[in-house]
Amino acid sequence: MTIDSTRIQVLNTADIRDGAYVLYWMQQSQRVEYNHALEYAVQQANRLERMLLVVFGLMDDYPEANLRHYTFMLEGLKETAAALALRGIKMVLQLGHPAEIALALGGRAAVIVCDRGYLRHQRAWRRQVARQAPCRVVQVESDVVVPVGVVSDKAEYAARTIRPKIQRHLEDYLVELEATKIQHPSLDLNIDGVDVADTERLLSELRLDRSVPSVSRFFAGGTSQARRRFDTFVRTRLKHYDHNSNQPQTDDISHMGPYLHFGQISPLYLALQIRKASDSLKTAKDAYLEELVVRRELAMNFVAFTPNYDDYACIPGWAEKSLADHRHDGRETVYSRRQLESAGTHDPYWNAAMQEMKQTGFMHNYMRMYWGKKILEWSKTPQHAFRTTLAINNRYFLDGRDPNSCAGVAWIYGVHDRAWAERPIFGKIRFMAASGLERKCDIAAYVKKVDDLVQAPG
């Protein structure tokens, strides 16, 4: 099937050459299923009567990544390489800077295909490849349901402003993506790479920050793991989602954040599976699609159109002024980053959330909001709080260091929100209190759930 042209962007003016193969430089979309960039590359290879080579550049100093993130990612890439081999497509992992590896192998390519990344450094890598490659470079967007440029050409103010723009196009993009058979297998290509099948050995040879351990006992990487979790969610827990998505003591959520972060599962696949669920679950289905499509793609819009998306200066003017007005308000408690990371505050609810993050690499979204609001309350300045929140978020969460994280942290400080009743420290920023948790959910059961999780044997 033809890939929709709105997902495709030619990044340079070079021509398609008479190269040895088509190169798919995989970076963001680390999967075989429902990968528009991969299918476009297969179609190009078939049209040019060439083989397709997939390459992944593995750097051991990816921004803010540590052993936790690398373990999850390599578990997924191991599965991806095996799945590509079953389709007759060779995948190589090479150590080094991703853009430089793409350029090195692109020297023999007829055309280079890449997926789209939204963060600053991901965009810079693609610009570098497009600028220096001797052949055409084509970017194909596959990690959103509706392409970012189709939805809007500016930073949207809130979910309420982007929702109708997404819904206007949604039906056009909720389309199954069929795999195209490769006509010229590439498994015999003699190109060296590291052995991703031996994940443990590869991890031991990389120069990584090993201070944050892997969480494979809770979350193992890979498309098959994502599908298994999601199938269970749809069968057994979707029916509770609209009532329990803000109830952290339950597990009535999909846990797809880590898999979406690494591109191990397609948001299109998830949306289509939700749409296939029983019509009797319409309210729950709508609630899930709101989070998966509207809220998630609002985050993509945020980083795409906000140059300083990871800096305090990204917050709206009204929020910055209000927080500045209350900058010198007295704080009953101020905690250092070390105290926060050790879950050593006076608040047992917050401590449980921090433990869930540290031990599992995940935190229920309702608790993420509370967790972030309290760091604002317990820091000397809002600027210091912003830096601390983002740093801890990116260090421990499997799905940290991405558009959702940047938008989520910025939301704590007023992005995609509105002004509320004024109060000390927060000014007009939305406030959350322990009493609100006690009123709205069974927070004691959440604390027990986390305690049981972290103390359970492997």
Nearest CA to 72 out of 300, 299, 271, 255 is that of 255
pLDDT of residue 385: 98
The amino acid that residue 68 corresponds to is: R
Superfamily name with CATH number, domain 312-453:
DNA Cyclobutane Dipyrimidine Photolyase, subunit A, domain 3 (1.10.579.10)
pLDDT of residue 1: 76
Given a cut of 90, is residue 276 above it in pLDDT? yes
Determine contact, residues 294/60, Cβ cutoff 8 Å. Answer: no
- Beta strands 136-140 and 8-10, pairing class: antiparallel
What angle, 0 to 180 degrees and rounded to 10, lies between the N-to-C axes of helices 267-276 and 223-232?
30
Q: Summarize the confidence of residues 39-45 as an average pLDDT.
A: 98
CATH of domain 1-143: 3.40.50.620
Q: How far apart are CA 381 and CA 135, in angstroms?
A: 50
When computed from its CA atoms, the radius of gyration of the chain, rounded to whole angstroms, is 22
Kindly report, residue by residue over 383-405, the tens digit of the pLDDT.
Answer: 999 999 999 999 999 999 999 99
Kindly report, residue by residue over 318-358, the tens digit of the pLDDT.
Answer: 999 999 999 999 999 999 999 999 999 999 999 999 999 99
Residue 59's contacts (CB-CB under 8 Å, 6 or more residues apart) are: 95, 96, 97, 98
**279: how many CB neighbours lie within 10 A of its CB?**
6
Task: State how far the alpha carbon of 155 is from the alpha carbons of 76, 124, 169, 172, in Å.
Answer: 32, 20, 18, 22
Cα 147 to chain centroid, rounded: 16
CA dihedral 218, 210, 308, 302 (to 10 degrees): -20
Helix runs in 61-158, H state only: 67-86, 98-106, 120-132, 148-151
CATH of domain 144-176+223-305: 1.25.40.80
Can you read off the two tokens belonging to residue 31? 């999967």
Q: How far apart are CA 234 and CA 254, in angstroms?
A: 8
Confidence of residue 455 (pLDDT cuts 50, 70, 90): confident
Q: How far apart are CA 343 and CA 337, in angstroms?
A: 10
Can you read off the two tokens belonging to residue 207? 């120069």
Kindly report, residue by residue over 144-201, the tens digit of the pLDDT.
Answer: 999 999 999 999 999 999 999 999 999 999 999 999 999 999 999 999 999 999 999 9
Residue 253's contacts (CB-CB under 8 Å, 6 or more residues apart) are: 233, 237, 241, 244, 245, 364, 365
Kindly report, residue by residue over 43-69, the tens digit of the pLDDT.
Answer: 999 999 999 999 999 999 999 999 999
Kindly report, residue by residue over 286-330, the tens digit of the pLDDT.
Answer: 999 999 999 999 999 999 999 999 999 999 999 999 999 999 999
- Annotated domain spans of the chain: 1-143, 144-176+223-305, 312-453
pLDDT of residue 457: 74
Q: Summarize the confidence of residues 112-123 as an average pLDDT.
A: 98
pLDDT of residue 13: 98
- Beta strands 90-95 and 51-58, pairing class: parallel
Confidence of residue 446 (pLDDT cuts 50, 70, 90): very high
DSSP for 52-75, written as a single string: EEEEEEE-TT-TT--HHHHHHHHH
- For 30, how many CA atoms within 13 A lie in the half-sphere containing its CB? 28
Given a cut of 80, is residue 458 above it in pLDDT? no
Percentage, residues of the chain above pLDDT 70? 100
- pTM summary value: 0.97
Q: How far apart are CA 106 and CA 224, in angstroms?
A: 30
pLDDT of residue 123: 98
Given a cut of 90, is residue 456 above it in pLDDT? no
Kindly state the DSSP code that residue 7 receives in the 8-state scheme.
G
